[in-house]
Amino acid sequence: MSPQPPSTVTIRDVALAAGVHVSTVSRALSPDKRGLISEEVLRVVEEAAQRLGYRPNRAASALRTGRTHTIGVLVPDITNPVFPPILQGVEASAAARGYFVFVTNVMDPALARPVVERMLAQQVDGLVMAIAMRDDPLIDYLQKAGMHTVLVNRADESGRLPAVVSDDRLAMKLAVDHLVAAGHRRIAHLAGPQNVPTGVARRQGVEQALRDRGLALAAVAECESYSREAGRQAMAQLLAQNERPEAVVCCNDLVALGAYDLLRAQGLRVPQDISITGHNDMPLVDMVDPPLTTIRLPHRELGWRAAEMLFDEIEGKSLSASTVVLRPELVVRASTRRVP
DSSP summary character for residue 324: E
CA dist 310 → 72, 148, 263, 297, 318 (Å) = 11, 7, 43, 21, 10
**Given candidates 81, 185, 215, 227, which one binds a second copy under the rule CB under 8 A?**
81
Binding site for DNA (CB under 7 A): 8, 10-12, 20-24, 26-27, 29-30, 33, 36-38, 40-41, 54, 56-57, 60-61, 63-65
Interface pattern 115-144 for a second copy (x via CB under 8 A):
x-xxxxxxx-----------------xx-x
**What residues contact 319, with CB distance under 8 A and at least 6 apart?**
none
CB of 245 to DNA, least distance (A): 59
**If contact means CB under 5 to 8 A according to the sort of partner, which of DNA, a second copy, none does residue 30 touch?**
DNA
CA angle (23 as vertex; 18, 28 as ends), nearest 5? 65
Our CB check for a second copy shows the closer of 57 and 158 to be 57
CB of 231 to a second copy, least distance (A): 12
CB of 3 to a second copy, least distance (A): 9
CB of 82 to a second copy, least distance (A): 11
Pairing of strands 329-331, 294-296: antiparallel
**If contact means CB under 5 to 8 A according to the sort of partner, which of DNA, a second copy, none does residue 325 touch?**
none
Whether the CA torsion 64, 69, 75, 79 is positive or negative: it is negative
Task: Find the Cα–Cα–Cα–Cα dihedral 245, 246, 250, 256, rounded to 10°.
Answer: 110
Q: For the chain, state the CA radius of gyration.
A: 26
Q: Assess contact for 194 and 222: CB atoms under 8 A.
A: yes
> What are the residues binding a second copy (CB under 8 A)?
2, 5-6, 55-60, 62-63, 68-70, 72, 78-79, 81, 83-85, 87-88, 91-92, 95, 98, 100-105, 113, 115, 117-123, 141-142, 144-146, 257, 260, 283-285, 287-289
